[in-house]
Structure 1
Amino acid sequence: MFIVHVTPIAKGGLEQLSYFSPQDFTVGSVIHVPLRKKEIPALVHKVEDARAIKALLKTNLYETRKIRKQKELHVFSSEFVRAAHATAEYYATSIGIVIQSYVPSAILKDAEESNPTKRKLRSIEGKGFEKLSLQLSRKDRIEKYKTIIRSNFARGGSLFLCVPTVREARVLYEEYHKKGIEKYTFLLESSQSPKKQKETWNAILDETHPVLIIATPVFASIPRDDISMFILENEMSSAYKQQARPRADARILLEYLAQEMRSALVYAGTTVSLKVHKEMESGFVRELEEHTLKLRTSSKTHIIDAKTARTLAKERKKEFPVLTNESIEALKECSSNNEHSFVFAARRGIASHTVCNDCNTTVTCMHCKSPVVLHKRGESRELLCHRCGTSRDAHETCMQCNSWDLVPLGIGIERIEEYIRLHIPEAPLLVLTSDTATTPAKAKKITDSFYATEGAILIGTEMTLPYITKAVSCSVMSSIDSLLCIPDFRIEERIFAIIAAVKERSRKHVYIETSSVDNQMLKYAQTGSLSEYAQDELTLRKKMHYPPYTHLIKMTFNGTRALVIENMQKFVELTQEYNPREFAGFIPRGPHLELHALIRTKTSSWPDVKLTSILKALPSSGSVDVDPERML
């Protein structure tokens, strides 16, 4: 008999379980073990002879369960397991939950159909780990990738081109699957059926020729040992980081994986993150191609003072100008000349929030207490929570003072649509958001219709940008201020990237409407000064001890007031040497409350073994977020 120590590949985050087994298993293989009333997959990480630890087993306070005889599965490469372990340490979680996050359930479920890690491909000459940066316009990147693909194929190396979202994966796949390498180009993304995922996965593993894999992060575990380069396309995207536990970031996992496989890792995008810029300064990242100091676009950028236009309209008691006259006239001219134009909106809905005009109370979700967004649904209006998805009829009084005087504030995409239809009624108008396009196929249908219609105007949020594959004549960026007011030290970096993406998709003009015309970041974006913006922002971040010069670890406790206070006090006591900063005030979350704390560490000292062990041992009511997208 043997004692098999495993880590469940499941969301529970259990670190280790032990079982009796009549057979020996290979470390790193996957087996199925009983847990509660069902069987789940688990990773074997240690096997001991039961006779050798007989005395120790007698001291157990609980009965060790048995597992059935079974065929062990070789689903992962040893390099991926080591990378997943390093990622788990980085995010203070279990290796099981990390693996579960980056292995499709369809592949894990039917792993017995193949034994992929037993097949070895020929070694790649000159293969070695290094980190590279590629900051080019989208058009230039696509051309550069062709050269990279040919070069790696010639050396016998495959490429893993990782994209943050399904829509970006599909758009990029269209660029390459008919370029003479369609036989060796494969697409893997989560909206595919389980059957399609398994067929593509097995086809990739069966192909002896080098391949190009275009995939979302969940497929990073595919065991092709000839991958000589990983490319992180649109490296700036926040979609690489998970919003739910374990809140891991695929960029970190792929860095560890590339290191284990001795492959190159390329950070690519129209703009790359400040973290990459900082690593280039330190010599840890090399430019794959010399970065341009300025963004190369043919469009001219105009910053429009929206505050003056709206103040003037208020004084003259005229209609609130959702878009300024300059923007409306530019859109009219494009439409009359049968040219295409794009209007960027930061928010969905009619208004981003609603307040009581009598007591200034913000209308919030009854479930999670987040501000609700006013939406139009047919002839009626509803208040929708973008956090938890609950909705209710908009015809209500103030919860605080019972007043009917509720005022919608902010500019949402539905409000922009109504305004354009009113002022440019002759222009064909299409809207692309997650509300109007619930699948990539529907989104493509909308953009295909847009390009097929002369003089059409497309209104969309950030999700629209990957679908704008052909440049429009002019673009208008509305409601930028609703992003600038977000209390997040990374928000200007994100806005700069969005503006850069809009500029490279516009041939003639880009109009940015804002009340903050003196904002230095907007001035850099207007001139396309990529390097100057990065240098100034890094100087500020270093002075303020913000990432990428430090790591932030956010701790959140949820529950009743008494439980949250008790857990937070214990956490502060345990981590006293790390100087945790407790956030003032509770945040309502449905029937419970949330309380946050923040720890700042040096980049050179993370992961900290002592601190990660404390974080792993915290109760389930607490959640850890390493390198959070937002501090608040």
Structure 2
Amino acid sequence: MFILEVTPIAKSSHADTLSYFSVKKVDPGGIVEVPLRKQNVLAVVMSVNPVTNIKSQIKSAGYSLRNIHKIIEGQLYSKALLATTYTLKDYFCIPQGKITSLLSPKFLQENQSLWKKRSSHKKRAIKKQILMRPFPERIDYYKSFIREKRSDNESLIIVCPTTHECEELFYQLNKNTTHVFCLHSAISKKKRVAGYAEITERESSSVLITTPSFIDTPLFNLTTLILEHESSPRYIAAAQHLDLRVVIDTFARYVHADIMYADSIIRPERWYEIERKYIERIEPFQNVLRDVTNRIEVEQLNVPITKKITDTERIAQLNKQVAEFSTLSKKSHSRIKKSIKDKENIFIFSSRKSLAPSIICNDCGNIVVSQKTGRPYSLFNKKSKHGGTTRVFRDPLTKEVIPAYDNCMYCKGNRLVQLGVGTERIYDDLKQYQKNATIIILDDNHKLLKKERAELSSLMKDTKHPVIVISTSKGFSLEEKFDNAIVASLDSMLGRPHQNVVTECLWVLSSILRMTKGSVYIQSRNITENQLAIIYTGRYQEFIQRELQLRKELDLPPYLTKIYISKEIQKIQLKKVHVFIQELFQKEMVHIDIMSGRKKSTITLRAELTIPKGTWNPSYQEPELLLKIKELARTWNIEIEA
């Protein structure tokens, strides 16, 4: 008789490991079916102990152990993946079963015929490299690199953050070859099963282009992993606050494979590793971003006042600006008119959806907020049942919707003003061009189905009728390239108090450059040569060293680790919870913020811990601090930034 410690393969499971009896011995990494609550689930065996070794623990346990239902033949996971998830479960404070489930395609769990015995990976010296070049140049490098790997009979995996980027890369690399494969969740189940079976049965070199869910696909003689579009924020699994880049990096170590980080503009965290000789650069390294300086043009909308004016004159100027306000400048309108005349397709980016992200009263200065939650409303257009649209106020967090009103709830004045630039507001400003162009919104509230995307693609190929797409980052997955692009505003992104603001802006710009043939025009009130000098000079090394120096002075990652702990609580509990957090983390540097909750009676308490890198990293977590964090992890949200 044996005691098996297993981790359920279920996203809903909060347990780290569960214990079950088994008559037969099952090797670690094996799959068993176990009873969990009212259903049977698959679980991975993490450890095996004879009953005779732990009799005292069984007797002292306050619960009775259940038997496993059956042992499943074959292996679903490699030992390398299990070692990866075991290593990172404490670092991210996420149960091992949850991490394993994220890296396990559902179709694979359902097809036991695909479960085969995994061979162990040969130990070898590994290297880490950075490839920083424009996307077309990276494609050329990959083609040469793949030929080299094929001649050595070695396999590699290229990981992309989204299915669209997988398809884009696969289209470029699978020409005139039969050993390049693509697997991701958007492919039909039948094709996924066939593709997985084919690639795992090969006994020669192969290339797999995939999302992080398929990194454990067994390839013949795997020696390299490439992390493509490394700076993309879409590597963060938002629901679990799990950085999949760290998972892939750790997995590469356990499979003894080289890892290459590739992008047009790499993050400061990677440059930090280059400076410390953890990673080597692949030459020629792109020190001057010519694609940025040659194709991006910034239009400053702030006009400096060159002469003294009276308060009355200044108020008159501001009132005139409000009355004449347009989301797009006169230059941007001129560019749109020229593009329509030349039958060119235009992409217009806005970081926010809605008609107006905020509504303010010009008489009393109060923001329009929900009476239920106290949270600010945004203004949206809503399609009515009888056709046409109506305007509504909506809270993007709680999804509360009410009919829009014209009079201020505080002073009853009728001067409510829309603030901010949203996709719907831009659409309203461009209605004048509808006769000569097709105008489409694409964001979380205006999604395109597969059929509609195909129709848009065919419209963009029609050289007689131009298309204008107004979109958030949702539009980055469109297949066809645009002739030109306009960035309506990056100001709301730059205004966020976060260390990754600048790098996220650069990711947005590099994504727009990749989907645009011609120029990218940015209109802004905040982008200056001081703040985003790289847009004007293209000098990457100067920019990144300045960014790292600033982070060092402010005690930000990558020099220190930040642990964010948050929870929505009742307002009456604030004092009690505040004292509890301060007492729990007496030895750590803790800063506590209070933010609005989803209801008027609740608030969100967010504690920020600043931890030395040696105290908390993927390989080591200080035991006392780990115990405190794990105490909170079940009911609090934990987020790690390093």
- Partners of 1:344 and 1:459 within 8 A in 2: yes
CA shift, 1:600, in A, is 1.0
| Equivalent residue number for residue 464 of structure 1 | 475
Question: What is the rounded CA distance, in whole Å, between the counterparts of 1:140 and 1:281 in structure 2?
Answer: 24
User: Which residue among 147, 150, 155 is the counterpart of 1:153?
Assistant: 150
User: Which residue among 176, 179, 195 is the counterpart of 1:180?
Assistant: 176
SS in structure 2 of the partner of residue 160 of structure 1 = strand
| Equivalent residue number for residue 308 of structure 2 | none
- Partners of 2:131 and 2:263 within 8 A in 1: yes
- Partners of 2:370 and 2:377 within 8 A in 1: yes
1:49-64 alignment, distance < 5 Å: 49-64=50-65
| Equivalent residue number for residue 299 of structure 2 | 304
Letter in 1 for 2:211: T
| Equivalent residue number for residue 271 of structure 2 | 277
Is 1:346 the counterpart of 2:355? The answer is no
Per-residue CA deviations over 1:227-258 (Å, capped at 9, x if unaligned) read 2221111111111011112x211100000011
| Equivalent residue number for residue 232 of structure 1 | 227
SS in structure 2 of the partner of residue 20 of structure 1 = strand
CA shift, 1:64, in A, is 1.5
RMSD over aligned CA atoms reads 2.9
Q: Structure 1 residues 15, 505: closer, same or farther in 2, change over 3 A?
A: closer
Letter in 1 for 2:626: T
SS in structure 2 of the partner of residue 267 of structure 1 = strand
- Partners of 1:558 and 1:564 within 8 A in 2: no
| Equivalent residue number for residue 331 of structure 2 | 326
| Equivalent residue number for residue 262 of structure 2 | 268
1:162-561 alignment, distance < 5 Å: 162-177=159-174, 179-181=175-177, 183-224=178-219, 226-245=221-240, 247-297=241-291, 299-308=294-303, 314-315=319-320, 319-364=324-369, 370-378=375-383, 379-395=389-405, 405-422=415-432, 426-439=436-449, 442-443=452-453, 445-454=455-464, 455-467=466-478, 470=481, 472=483, 474-503=484-513, 505-506=515-516, 508-561=518-571
Percent identity, please.
24
* TM-score, with structure 1 as normaliser: 0.89
- Partners of 1:28 and 1:44 within 8 A in 2: yes
Moved more, 602-611 or 386-395: 386-395
User: Which residue among 131, 139, 142 is the counterpart of 2:139?
Assistant: 142
- Partners of 1:306 and 1:513 within 8 A in 2: yes
CA shift, 1:501, in A, is 3.6
Question: What is the rounded CA distance, in whole Å, between the counterparts of 1:157 and 1:605 in structure 2?
Answer: 38
CA shift, 1:516, in A, is 2.1
CA shift, 1:176, in A, is 2.8
Question: What is the rounded CA distance, in whole Å, between the counterparts of 1:90 and 1:540 in structure 2?
Answer: 26
Letter in 1 for 2:550: L
Q: Structure 1 residues 444, 498: closer, same or farther in 2, change over 3 A?
A: farther
Per-residue CA deviations over 1:433-485 (Å, capped at 9, x if unaligned) read 3444345664454244224344443332223235365462x322112212221
| Equivalent residue number for residue 100 of structure 2 | 99
Per-residue CA deviations over 1:72-107 (Å, capped at 9, x if unaligned) read 541111111111112212212321121112212232
| Equivalent residue number for residue 35 of structure 1 | 36
| Equivalent residue number for residue 589 of structure 1 | 598
- Partners of 2:206 and 2:220 within 8 A in 1: no
* TM-score, with structure 2 as normaliser: 0.88
SS in structure 2 of the partner of residue 315 of structure 1 = helix
| Equivalent residue number for residue 616 of structure 2 | 606
Question: What is the rounded CA distance, in whole Å, between the counterparts of 1:88 and 1:257 in structure 2?
Answer: 13
CA shift, 1:503, in A, is 4.0
Letter in 1 for 2:597: P
CA shift, 1:56, in A, is 3.5
CA shift, 1:492, in A, is 1.5
SS in structure 2 of the partner of residue 558 of structure 1 = strand
Per-residue CA deviations over 1:501-528 (Å, capped at 9, x if unaligned) read 4345555533211112535233321332
- Partners of 1:353 and 1:410 within 8 A in 2: yes
| Equivalent residue number for residue 21 of structure 2 | 20
SS in structure 1 of the partner of residue 520 of structure 2 = strand
Question: What is the rounded CA distance, in whole Å, between the counterparts of 2:360 and 2:596 in structure 1?
Answer: 19
Question: What is the rounded CA distance, in whole Å, between the counterparts of 2:287 and 2:563 in structure 1?
Answer: 33
- Residue-pair matches, total: 619
- Partners of 1:521 and 1:533 within 8 A in 2: no
- Partners of 1:230 and 1:264 within 8 A in 2: yes
SS in structure 1 of the partner of residue 32 of structure 2 = strand
Q: Structure 1 residues 350, 222: closer, same or farther in 2, change over 3 A?
A: same
Per-residue CA deviations over 1:522-554 (Å, capped at 9, x if unaligned) read 332133222221121111111111111111000
Letter in 2 for 1:174: Y
Moved more, 293-302 or 266-275: 293-302
- Partners of 2:459 and 2:467 within 8 A in 1: no
CA shift, 1:156, in A, is 2.0
Letter in 1 for 2:330: N
